[in-house]
Amino acid sequence: MMIGSKKAPRTRAPLDPDLLGPCMVYCGYCGVYRAGNCGGCGPMTRKRKLEGTVFCELRECAESRSVEACADCREYPCSKFDKGSPTDDALYSEKFVEYIRKNCR
């Protein structure tokens, strides 16, 4: 950097609340979403409800308990959110990644 020069501050687009899951994962940063292979948590949940299926158990649970985020729930952390093993449905586990690949098409 040259002496006396100033870098312009980085600006970021505001986050879309519809893309923020109750698990606090932001779909806008997800490679699957960015590649166009998933509509994001909110839109996919609404789409699947119309089809009579469930896209995300965590979102269904949060809505049924009237909380915005899993962390707002009195029962957090629970077995739905994180069972702690790489072979179960824990966030970012192999099973979670498999779920994303299967359901976000």
User: If you write DSSP's letter for every residue of 66-84 in order, what string do you get?
Assistant: T-SSGGGSTT-S-TTT--S
- Confidence (pLDDT) at 100: 67
What is the reported pLDDT for 91?
55
For residues 53-76, one letter each, b for 16 or more C-beta atoms within 10 angstroms of the residue's C-beta and e for the rest, the string is eebbebbbbbeeeebeebeebeeb
Q: What is the residue extent of each domain of the chain?
A: 17-103
In sequence order, the 6+-apart residues with CB closer than 8 A to the CB of 78 are: 70
As beta bridge partners, residue 26 has: 20
Q: What is the pLDDT of residues 11-56, one digit of tens each?
A: 777 888 889 888 888 888 888 888 898 899 899 999 999 999 988 8
CA angle at residue 72 from 37 to 47, to 5 degrees? 30
Residue 20 three-state SS? strand
Res 84: pLDDT:
46
* Angle (CA) 22 71 51, round 5°: 25
